[in-house]
A and B are shown apart, each in its own frame.
Chain A
Amino acid sequence: MSKFIHYSSLTKKYIMSIAGFFLMMFLIVHLGINLFILPITENHEDVFRNGVEFMTSNPLIKVMEVFLFAAFIIHIIYGAVLQIKNWMSRPVRYRIEGWSHTSFFSKFMIHTGIIVFIFLVIHLMNFYLVKEGFTEALSGPVTVENNHDFYHMAINLFTNTTYSVIYILFIVLLGFHLNHAFQSAFQSLGWNHSRYTPVIKAIGNIYSIVIPLGFILIPLYFIFLY
């Protein structure tokens, strides 16, 4: 464990970045399934249920789940460790703080990170831990059939407007986090190139808008159209 903490600053950052990449890929898959809550196809409910079924029971995914949790934990612990060192590196603050950080959201990674973490805990309580039988599904307009019935759990949550608004806020902050995270992960791994870095930054911007937008569509649907 102590070796884990005492890795050099760069090694910690590689691990952070790799874990981050993994999480960003997971988000795409997650969004892909979530979108089927919306009536985008005839059989969207079946697609969603099948997706959830696959994601919760496929042995390969089970293995991946371990990695996923590991990635979350590592990303969070290293984020905290690095941040504490960063705070310790400037014991006396400036009277006037600098504003020259050219990557704006980078200034707030720890803040957006903590908020995303809180969201993650709520999210796990609402779904994952229900499935595992640790928590109860919240009640709402529809009946939850069993602890694998994510479809009805989701509908119950999103039809609660307060929940949906908070959900949207969390996702926007996640977008801020992702905006810096995407290109930063490339930089930390040493992938900087005069021609490709602007492309990476552009992809990062698109990613950090499209993914949250996709997630936000769902509560929006429930607020305005359901």
Chain B
Amino acid sequence: MNLTLKIWRQENPQAKGRFEKYDVKDISSDASFLEMLDILNEQLIHEGGDPVAFDHDCREGICGACSLYINGRPHGPDTGITVCQMHMRNFRDGSTITIEPWRAKAFPVIKDLMVDRFAFDKIIQAGGYISVNAGSAPDANVIPIPKENAETAMDAAACIGCGACVAACKNASAMLFVSARVSQFAVLPQGKIEAAKRAKSMVAAMDEMGFGNCTNTYACEAECPKNISVSHIARMNREFFIAKVTDSAKK
């Protein structure tokens, strides 16, 4: 298939970017989207141009590195997968594809289609963990955990930290990402001990990093490659509320 690509090109974080048009020919519909970009880059190198920089690594939908906003949707037209798992059969021959980087104040562009997602690490640093040190854990089966809770935790923990939720949200809100982590630990007995502190400090970090507010549009859920549910956002809202109320009660 032959395609026209409109790709955002930006030399460096300070540079002013622009869209460039490229044509690619004879792409197999069995190729993945990123392989199509590989072919474009080979072509650009041969023509003496600058290859398009984009984030990618595992190419099997789990590392969360790939981050392309294709024709108005993070990770492209297919649902429940990342760009690297999307194959060209999702596009029609002769179509034009517009590729943009994630857009958010908290995700500055590094080059072309690459963005810096350090803000996510900052949020996790604020409390996205259980504070136990190596070596002191009791036997794994000491505390039984209801299967449903383990499953809910796993649903939330499936987050790959790609940032599609932020990219999809009209407010560039990171609520789905943050709530997935808060929610995972909130349903596990091991995580309950720090639950209040975790919810408060992770929300504070989220606000500080410049993400927008959630207006419950649920675009995040619709675009999440791991189908993480907004029920986790509600759980975080609950956790946070309880934490705040408990705080006031203590005062």
The residues of A with any CB-CB pair to B shorter than 8 Å are 8-14, 82, 85-86, 88-103, 106-107, 109, 180, 183-184, 187-194, 197
Contact = CB atoms under 8 A, between A and B. Distances in A.
Given A98-B72, A189-B241, A86 B203 contact: no
Contact of A82 (B103, B213, B236): B213
Contacts of A187: 216, 230, 233-234, 237
A103 B234 contact: no
B216 to A, nearest CB: 4
A12 B215 CA distance: 12
A102 B167 CA distance: 15
A86 B71 CA distance: 22
A89 B98 contact: no
B211 interface: yes
B72 A190 contact: no
B195 interface: no
Contacts of B215: 82, 86, 106, 109, 184
Contacts of B80: none
Contact of B213 (A9, A96, A97, A192): A9
A86 B213 CA distance: 6
B36 to A, nearest CB: 19
A98 B167 CA distance: 9
B105 A91 contact: yes
Contacts of B239: 190
Interface residues of B, number: 50
Contacts of A94: 69, 72, 100, 103
Nearest to B107: A90
Given A10-B240, A90-B103, A189-B241, A102 B234 contact: no
B238 interface: yes
Contact of A85 (B73, B204, B212, B217): B212
Top 7 closest pairs, chain A to chain B, by CB: A192-B234, A190-B238, A89-B212, A190-B237, A86-B171, A96-B72, A106-B217
Interface in B185-244: 200, 203-204, 206-207, 210-219, 221-223, 230-231, 233-241, 244
B102 to A, nearest CB: 10
Q: B6, B73, B217, B236: which has the most chain A beta carbons within 10 Å?
A: B217
B73 A98 contact: yes
Q: A82, A91, A102: which has the most chain B beta carbons within 10 Å?
A: A102
Nearest to B241: A190
Q: B98, B103, B167, B236: which has the most chain A beta carbons within 10 Å?
A: B103
Q: A11, A89, A103, A107: which has the most chain B beta carbons within 10 Å?
A: A89
A9 B235 contact: no
